[in-house]
Amino acid sequence: MRIVYMGTPDFAVPALEALAKSGHDVVAVVTQPDKARDRGKKVQFTPVKAKALEYDIPVLQPEKVKHNEEFYRTLAELKPDLIVVAAYGKILPVSVLELPKYGCVNIHASLLPKYRGAAPIHRAIINGDPVTGVTLMYMAEGMDTGDMIVKAETKIGTKTVEEMHEELAELGASLLMDTLPQLLDGTAPRQAQEESLATYAPMVFKQDGVLDFAKSAEQLCCLVRGMNSWPGASTTYRGQVVKVWEAQPLPQETGKAPGTILSVDKTGLKVACGEGAINITKLQFPGKRAMAVSDYIKGNTVDTGVILGGN
């Protein structure tokens, strides 16, 4: 089967690698244009492009896919039987969706119709969901609105978004490979999404990670895990922005104002919340690397009674 694969970030790499090793003919990879990154502004390949080049797969990097006749002609000349998409980052026009014989399928990192959109993994963790998963779906014009083929579920537990990202990427790759034979012989199931159950997962930004200690300890710890490793949860201590990388909820009621530092020792930094308290065990002060609280307090002082996030 002739397959065109479309994806950009790390999440899309395991499925591409699985396809490349499967014996199917991956005739091209479509990924976002290379961008200058980091301080040196050095141009870096997308993770998907880097993996495609390892397997000598031709790479296409159009600036746009809508109203791009040259790109469409190139795709059409490839005669793909199937287009597989995973976190490509652009909405495909109908002309592309209708091009392959077996359609376009997408690996989406949520249990649809929940969490359509750009940041399903972040939002599932931030919202305290007990489970999440991957949905393999036929693509339609809307954002993640197409008919579902199959799902795979997994527990979130205390995983960070980075850990969950890696797990779901592998789960999506397995789901795709298990379902390919059904896609080929026409026996793959097809179920419409229930629109009344649809929710959306908008992109996350740095300001989304600011800790509001008036919330419960459980909510704050979910936010910390849902922002680790990007963009990171944060608060302020005496006017300094401090990143919070690891925290656990404590059931105790403190009687103190939310954000009050209750104690600081080698076990962590305890902070009062609107409900319960949290124990911050890993943080990052300006100009320093992320480190355990037990290491930070060896050469630095954090005062009890200070209210985090205060002026």
pLDDT of residue 252: 87
Q: Is the pLDDT of residue 38 over 70?
A: no
pLDDT of residue 285: 97
Rounded mean pLDDT, 292-303: 96
β-pair type (268-272, 233-237)? unpaired
Largest CA distance in the chain: 69
- pLDDT tens for each residue of 151-197: 999 999 999 999 999 999 999 999 999 999 999 898 999 999 999 99
Amino acid at residue number 52: A
Number of residues assigned to the chain: 311
What is the DSSP code string of 199-268? -B-PPP-GGGGB--TTSBHHHHHHHHHHTTTTT-EEEEETTEEEEEEEEEEE-----S-TTBEEEEETTE
pLDDT of residue 42: 81
Beta bridge partners of 104: 83
Q: How far is CA 29 from the centre of its chain?
A: 21
- pLDDT tens for each residue of 250-265: 988 899 999 999 999 9
- State what percent of residues in the chain have pLDDT above 90: 92
- pLDDT tens for each residue of 266-289: 999 999 999 999 999 999 999 999
Question: What domains does the chain contain, in order, with CATH numbers?
Answer: 2-197 (3.40.50.170), 206-296 (3.10.25.10)
What is the DSSP code string of the chain? -EEEEEE-SGGGHHHHHHHHHHT-EEEEEE-PPPEEETTTTEEE--HHHHHHHHTT--EE--S-STT-HHHHHHHHHH--SEEEEES--SPPPHHHHTSSTT-EEEEESSSTTTTBSS-HHHHHHHTT-SEEEEEEEE--SSTT-SPEEEEEEEE-TT--HHHHHHHHHHHHHHHHHHHHHHHHHT----B---GGG--B-PPP-GGGGB--TTSBHHHHHHHHHHTTTTT-EEEEETTEEEEEEEEEEE-----S-TTBEEEEETTEEEEE-SBSEEEEEEEE-TTS--EEHHHHTTT----TT-BTT--
Residue 23: pLDDT band (50, 70, 90) is confident
Residue 104: pLDDT band (50, 70, 90) is very high
Contacts for 164-170: CB closer than 8 Å, 24+ residues apart? 164/121, 164/124, 164/125, 164/132, 165/10, 165/11, 165/109, 165/121, 166/10, 168/11, 168/109, 168/121, 168/132, 168/133, 168/134, 169/10, 169/11, 169/12, 169/13, 169/14, 169/15, 169/109, 170/14
Q: Is the pLDDT of residue 290 over 90?
A: yes
pLDDT of residue 289: 96
